Amino acid sequence: MDVLGIETTCDETAAAVVRMRPEGGGDILSNEISSQVAEHAAYGGVVPEIAARAHLEVIDRLIARALDAAGTTLRRLDAIAAAAGPGLVGGVIVGLTTAKALALAARKPFIAVNHLEAHALTARLTDGVNFPYLLLLVSGGHTQLVAVNGVGDYSRLGTTLDDAVGEAFDKVAKMLGLPYPGGPHVEREALKGNPTRFDLPRPMLGRPAADFSLSGLKTAVRIEAERVAPLTATDVGDLCASFQAAIIDLIVDRARAGLRAFRERKGHPEAFVVAGGVASNAAIRRAIARFAGEAGLRLVIPPPNLCTDNGAMIAWTGIERLRLGLIDDMTFAARPRWPLDTNAEPVQHGKA
């Protein structure tokens, strides 16, 4: 079973072909990505109109490249999948419309994929993880702890009440004058800094519920930066190190709360899976590995190139849904918001 996956929810245009193995798991036959970092760098963040136009300019040749690298054609595919949200709606429409057109032309099934579900299921592509498992999703726009019960079946255990972890990294980078995208630059600066110099808060630490709150931590970094201004290179390194240390403490503490909630509802998870772009941070990966070892959990973190947005995760989720007969018609609309757990109470986001 071969499926083409198309991803255009934010600032990466991606297309990939994935093949399902008979014994389970999958092989990535191609995984093409076009980044828009240069287009957005001057603005210090993603500009939706620029993102949509950039997707439109490259998507056709990127798909052609993915098919060529996989040694296949549209006619030989079993289905075409595209991320239908959540994300920047202009970009989502580009990928979704392209996938529908290709599916119609090639007379193939069309599958609309939840971008968050694709992150959630990547560990089944790379490591064949069985259900149910505990997921920590940490990205630029999302921070959640979720019980992954099956394809399309998710229970939210905790979420952020304000900023996502990746969003906090980017905002701290911007206030410290670091380039966009901020996360990798904060990580690099933290390697040079003293993580104990600034006594930053750990919001929600020790709370029984598995929710996150990061806006207060971000505000504390701003206050400390203003207090020691003008900032030297040492100040920036120490602020980044102190901020990252606080984030790590929060992630581990909140993961511990999420594990307790999971065990109360489901028993022992088959694995602890970490996904999303922030999972590429080496210091966070090491801290999570220590936590998982102490908790007796099988830890699965996909390779860094599969933690950030990519087409392979969309193609794999298309395979998972196609196996269950879950295909969509051409009326499926782009969804700027699309929660994994549709029964969870909406969060009233308040940002500092």
Average pLDDT over residues 321-328: 97
Q: What is the pLDDT of residues 75-88, one digit of tens each?
A: 999 999 999 999 99
| Distances in whole angstroms, Cα of residue 193 to Cα of each of 33, 110, 189, 234, 235 | 33, 49, 7, 7, 8
Average pLDDT over residues 269-290: 95
Query: Domains of the chain by range and CATH?
Result: 2-123+305-323 (3.30.420.40), 131-304 (3.30.420.40)
Average pLDDT over residues 18-42: 90
Residue 273 has pLDDT above 50, yes or no: yes
**Residues of the chain by 3-state class (helix, strand, coil), percent to 5:** 45, 20, 35
Residue 43 has pLDDT above 90, yes or no: no
Query: Do the Cβ atoms of 21 and 32 come closer than 8 Å?
Result: no
pLDDT (0 to 100) of residue 349 = 54
Q: What is the pLDDT of residues 200-258, one digit of tens each?
A: 999 999 999 999 999 999 999 999 999 999 999 999 999 999 999 999 999 999 999 99
Given pLDDT bands bounded at 50, 70 and 90, which one contains residue 47?
A: very high
350, amino acid identity: G
pLDDT (0 to 100) of residue 352 = 36
Given pLDDT bands bounded at 50, 70 and 90, which one contains residue 23?
A: confident
Q: Higher confidence at residue 141 or residue 15? A: 15
d(CA 146, CA 125): 18
- Phi first, then psi, for residue 232 (nearest 5°) are -95, 170
